[in-house]
């Protein structure tokens, strides 16, 4: 009957732990940070830097890839994409040409029982879907209304890290419009008048 110890907490007050462990022992805990600075406010800066590096590696190896900036931005949002090789290590020898990936908007840190950290890159796509690369674990569910704040937050460190999303840094004159066809479905009108809150 007793359940496992980790429960998922909500992201209501900004960027906060999304997997929250109660009580004394914290077997597993995952937090999403928009920047190394935000992370350093809560844990040792060296851990943050390590986690960021790991997330960036994961990002490089597994970020969704697109054949052009246009294709990437069409899916991930205006200005949300960067060339895949930007910021790559000089000696890596990889030259991937015109491949574009979504920029990181943050990273998540999980602490495992063994004491090691595992880090995951975090992205948002154009429509506000939360994703974490192509991996199935540790996807973050930021409510859509939070994603702009996160992007702004991460934009703040872009100049130092060089690989975060930079607002307005996308190629110029790129406008992608989503066609909002159809009409309002009209859902919600009954509840708005009743002040619905479940049963």
For other proteins, the binding residues (CB under 8 A) are 1-5, 7-13, 16, 18, 20, 22-24, 126-131, 136-137, 139-141, 143-144, 178-192, 194, 196-199
Structure tokens belonging to residue 30 = 């995952």
Handedness of CA 161, 89, 126, 170 (dihedral sign): positive
Residue 166 CB-half CA count within 13 A: 14
Cα separation, 191 vs 194, in Å, equals 5
- Shorter beta-carbon distance to other proteins: residue 8 or 96: 8
In whole angstroms, how close is the CB of 46 to other proteins at the nearest point? 25
Q: Three-state SS across 11-69?
A: CCCCCCEEEEECCCCCCCEEEEECCHHHHHCCCCHHHHHHHHHHHHHHHHHHCCCECCH
In whole angstroms, how close is the CB of 18 to other proteins at the nearest point? 7
In whole angstroms, how close is the CB of 186 to other proteins at the nearest point? 3
- Shorter beta-carbon distance to other proteins: residue 1 or 172: 1
- Shorter beta-carbon distance to other proteins: residue 62 or 163: 62
CB 15 within 8 A of CB 32: yes
In whole angstroms, how close is the CB of 143 to other proteins at the nearest point? 5
In whole angstroms, how close is the CB of 38 to other proteins at the nearest point? 17
Handedness of CA 162, 175, 125, 93 (dihedral sign): negative
- Shorter beta-carbon distance to other proteins: residue 92 or 199: 199
- Shorter beta-carbon distance to other proteins: residue 162 or 188: 188
- Shorter beta-carbon distance to other proteins: residue 12 or 173: 12
In whole angstroms, how close is the CB of 117 to other proteins at the nearest point? 19
Cα separation, 46 vs 171, in Å, equals 34
């Amino acid at each position: 009957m007793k359940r496992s110890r980790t429960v998922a907490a909500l992201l209501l007050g900004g960027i906060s732990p999304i997997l929250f462990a109660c009580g004394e022992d914290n077997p597993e805990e995952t937090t999403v940070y928009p920047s190394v600075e935000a992370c350093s406010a809560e844990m040792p800066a060296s851990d943050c830097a390590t986690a960021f590096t790991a997330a960036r590696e994961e990002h490089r190896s597994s970020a969704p890839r697109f054949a052009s900036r246009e294709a990437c931005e069409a899916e991930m949002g205006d200005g949300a994409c960067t060339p895949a090789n930007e910021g790559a290590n000089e000696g890596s020898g990889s030259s991937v040409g015109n491949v574009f990936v979504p920029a990181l908007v943050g990273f998540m840190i999980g602490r495992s029982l063994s004491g090691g950290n595992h880090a995951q890159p975090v992205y948002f796509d154009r429509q506000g879907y939360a994703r974490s690369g192509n991996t199935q674990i540790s996807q973050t569910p930021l409510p859509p209304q939070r994603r702009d704040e996160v992007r702004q937050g991460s934009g703040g460190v872009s100049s130092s890290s060089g690989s975060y999303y930079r607002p307005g840094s996308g190629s110029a004159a790129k406008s992608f419009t989503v066609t909002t066809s159809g009409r309002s479905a009209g859902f919600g009108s009954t509840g708005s008048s009743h002040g619905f809150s479940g049963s």
